[in-house]
Amino acid sequence: MDKLKRVLSGQDDGNSDGTGILERANQASTLSWGTRMKGFLICFILGGVCSILGTAMLWIPGAGLAVFAVLYSVGNIFALASTMFLIGPWRQLKTMCAKERALATVIMLVCLALTLCSAFWWKNNGLALLFCILQFLAFTWYGLSYIPFARDAVIKLFSMCI
């Protein structure tokens, strides 16, 4: 269990010396395991609540679609932030930019920005909904990259359906 805590907190990267300046600074500024878990749970729950609340607001006539787009995007931001509590922001950014996740990350972040632009700047609800759907698909593909062989299974499933 201690090994898992060290890996998730970013304190165990396989090096045994551990005397680098950056490593010591990182260890001195890290949160405790309990604080990390609380931060993860709070952000994850807030992300889920925002997404569910946004879906409920979708059916309000008039501004419902814009409110949905904003709350759904904020929910995705909270979901991404929640994992930063577990592995740290720097390591999160490095894993998001890994070659197997880079395209999904870029599409997800671009669609997130375009969703907010569609809702606030362009005031086009149809585009906001389209970008929310693309955001969901990119976030799902991004999340599947963390599960071994999950992407291959999804591709195989869709190829069998077509």
Is 8 part of any domain?
no
Residue 97 confidence (pLDDT): 93
Task: Tell me which residue range forms the domain holding 73.
Answer: 31-161
Residue 48 in domain: yes
Is the model's pTM score more than 0.75?
A: no
How do the pLDDT tens digits run along the chain, 162 residues long? 666 566 566 665 555 454 555 455 455 556 788 898 999 999 999 999 999 999 888 778 877 888 888 899 999 999 999 988 888 888 889 999 999 999 999 999 999 999 999 988 888 888 988 999 999 999 999 989 988 999 999 999 999 998
Q: Report how far residue 78's alpha carbon sits from residue 160's, in angstroms, rounded to the nearest whole number.
A: 35
Contacts of 144 (CB under 8 A, 6+ apart): 150, 151, 154
Q: Helix 150-161 crosses helix 125-144 at what angle (to 10 degrees)?
A: 120
Is 5 part of any domain? no
**72/88 Cα distance (integer angstroms):** 24
Question: How many folded domains does the chain comprise?
Answer: 1
Distances (CA, A) of 146 to 18, 74, 79, 142, 149: 27, 22, 15, 8, 9
Asked whether residue 25 is assigned to any structural domain, the reply reads: no
| Residue 153 included in any domain | yes
Three-state DSSP class for 77? helix
* Burial of 116: CB neighbours in 10 Å, binned 0-12, 13-18, 19+: middle
8-state DSSP, 32: P
Q: From CA 77, how far away is CA 96, in angstroms rounded? A: 13
Asked if residue 58 belongs to a domain, the reply is yes
Is residue 6, in this structure, part of any structural domain at all? no
In a domain, 7, yes or no: no
Report CA 99 to chain centroid distance, whole Å: 16
Enter the tokens of residue 21: 């300046």
